[in-house]
Amino acid sequence: MPLVARSGSRAMPELKLFVAPNTCARVPTIALEEIGAPFETSLIRTAANQQNSAEFLKVNPKGKVPTLLIDGVPLTENVAILSWLAGQFPEAKLLPEVSDPLEKVMQTADLAFFAGTVHPVVTRIAMPMKMIPDAPLSFEIVRPKAVEEMRKIMKMINARLEDGPWWYGDHWSVVDGYLFWVWGRITGVGFDVEAFPNIQRHHAMMELRPAVQRAMAREAENIEILKREDLYMAPR
Ligand X SMILES: N[C@@H](CCC(=O)N[C@@H](CS)C(=O)NCC(=O)O)C(=O)O
**Least distance (Å) between residue 111 CB and ligand X:** 9
User: What are the backbone angles phi and psi of residue 141, rounded to the nearest 5°?
Assistant: -110, -55
Enumerate the H helices of 118-173 as residue ranges: 119-126, 135-137, 143-160
Identity of the residue, 95 or 204, whose beta carbon is nearer to ligand X in the bound complex: 95
| Residue numbers at the binding site for ligand X (CB under 6 A) | 23-24, 46, 51, 63-66, 77-78, 115
Q: How far apart are CA 59 and CA 73, in angstroms?
A: 8
**Least distance (Å) between residue 141 CB and ligand X:** 20
Identity of the residue, 78 or 83, whose beta carbon is nearer to ligand X in the bound complex: 78
231 CB-contact burial (10 Å; exposed 0-12 / middle 13-18 / buried 19+): middle
- Residue 168 is classified by DSSP as B
Largest CA distance in the chain: 53
**Least distance (Å) between residue 60 CB and ligand X:** 9
According to DSSP, the residues that pair with 40 across neighbouring strands are 16
Identity of the residue, 64 or 202, whose beta carbon is nearer to ligand X in the bound complex: 64
Identity of the residue, 122 or 199, whose beta carbon is nearer to ligand X in the bound complex: 122
**Least distance (Å) between residue 71 CB and ligand X:** 20
